[in-house]
Amino acid sequence: MHTEDEAINEKLCPAAMGSGATERSIMKAGREVDALIEEKVMGHGSRWNFMPSTNIADAWSVVEQLKVSKWEFFAVGRSDNRLGLWFCELGKQFQLSNSEVIAYADTAPLAICLASLKAMEHKEKLAKPETVW
């Protein structure tokens, strides 16, 4: 049974959920991911010289912007058990449970971008009021 966070991760990067040799991120590095990062994380329109999904310096600026939203950068590195994929782990400051996001990708910049998008999705979910029946 998948948790909601696992379902989001599977949508963004199915390789995070399985171990098949051909599984890779659905979202590939490039303008589509860069535009989503600019809109959802950075809060500005498209700039052609901003390429966080392929440029590690731009990816670190995304990490810095996440701090404004009270997200902490925990780690980025090679995953031993995910076919050599890169991972990025983020956590919400001052919250102990259900506040971490992890994403896996072929490169470190893309892993940072996917984790950042998951963090913003998590933030939007928390901002919506719950319906109580």
pLDDT tens digits, one per residue of 8-29: 445 444 443 333 222 334 689 9
71 to 22, 59, 61, 122: CA distances (angstroms): 32, 15, 13, 11
| CATH at residue 70 | 3.30.2120.10
- Candidate from 8-17, 72-81, 101-110, 111-120 with smallest mean pLDDT: 8-17
Q: Which residue has the tokens 């983020």?
A: 90
What's the chain's average pLDDT? 76
- Residue 84: the pLDDT is 75
Residue 75 belongs to a domain: yes
Q: How many domains does the chain have?
A: 1
Examine residue 132 and state whether it is found in any structural domain, yes or no.
no
Confirm whether 55 is domain-assigned: yes
Q: Domain residues for 87?
A: 4-127
Query: In the chain, what is the straight-line distance between the N-terminal and C-terminal CA atoms, in Å?
Result: 24
Most confident of the ranges 16-30, 49-63, 91-105, 115-129 = 49-63
- What is the model's pLDDT at position 39? 94
- If you average pLDDT over residues 33-58, what whole number do you get? 92
